[in-house]
Structure formats: C-alpha cells, structure tokens
Amino acid sequence: MRILVIFSLLLALGFSSVSRAAEPSIDSKSTLANADQSDWSSLLQEVIISALSLTGTKYTYGGNSPESGFDCSGFVRYVFNQATNLTLPHGARAISQLGQNIPLDQLQPGDLVFFNTLKSTFSHVGIYLGNNRFIHAATLGGGIQVVNINDDYWTKHFTGGRRIEPQDVAKEEKAK
C-alpha cells in the first residue's frame, strides 16, 4: 500500500519516471562540501524519495526515527541524514539558520519550508516537493503527510523557505 501511495505522489508531483540512478560519488560529509550541482541534485531526489517513503509514519513529539515516530524537525533531520549523510541541527529554529532564503514563488524540490504554528517564527518545518506540495510531520491528522502549501492555513502561517546546500552544513559543523 505504501508503495502505491509513493508512486501516486510522485506521479502527481510531475516525476515522469522513478528510477534510482547510480549512487552519486559522494560518500562522506567532507566530500559533500565539494559536491557539484548535479551530485547535489541527485541527492535532493533521494531526499524526496526518502521523505515520501515515510508517508503515514506516526507523529511523536521529539521523535526522530520511523520506529518511534517523528516530530517535524526530527523528520527533516532523519531524511536529510539518510539521503545525503548531512547532520542538520536539532529544532526547526536551528535548521532555519542554514542555507539561503528562498521566496515562496522560487521554491524547488528539496528546499525547506517554515511556518509559524506555535507563535514562533520558525516553529514548524517541512520539505518542499514541487507543484505547491510539501511533506511534513503533522501533529494532527496522521503523522507524515503531503499537503498543499496554498491551503489557507499554510499560506497564513508560512514564514519562509530555505535552500540547504552541503557547504551550509559544513560551515555550521566547523563553527561548533
């Protein structure tokens, strides 16, 4: 059933075919910082596939694995780590400090989207999939799910998009 859901979502998002290309030649955090754009684009496709494969996983406050469930930042951290080997910081606010600001109309698949859901500018995070859709860990309504960013609730609460690139995380790790 989960495979059917993922396939349907990929078709709805405009993927004409789903195939795993040869793994990119990127195999560690140190080489990720030097990744060229085509390698990074391949990894972002892996981010999307990994995220979609978790559709339906339950929501758990503080959760950070498929077994325990996910909260929003735990979900984003897990997916990015699995697909790119990057370790993002804990919490939506901390993640929002990475990368470059991207306006809503310029979002690309793999960008992060942030919302004010708890009276805090960056209290919720999800992964943009394309075609006005993003995937996130919803506190209400079934855990990991794909929603339309143009729905009234999300439009009112949208606080920004960020494009993460390998060097952004490498800078963060060096600063520690």
Q: Which of 103, 93, 96, 89 is nearest to 173 (CA)?
A: 89
Nearest-angstrom CA–CA distance, 10 and 17: 8
**Which of 9, 113, 123, 124 is the catalytic position?**
124
**Which of 33, 35, 72, 113 is the catalytic position?**
72
Nearest-angstrom CA–CA distance, 9 and 145: 11
**Which of 42, 77, 122, 136 is the catalytic position?**
136
The answer to whether residue 90 is catalytic is no
Contact 32, 170 (CB under 8 A): yes
Nearest-angstrom CA–CA distance, 158 and 64: 23
Lookup: tokens for 147: 């929603």
The answer to whether residue 157 is catalytic is no
The answer to whether residue 72 is catalytic is yes
Torsions phi, psi for 58 (to 5 deg): -70, 155
Write out the catalytic residue numbers.
72, 124, 136
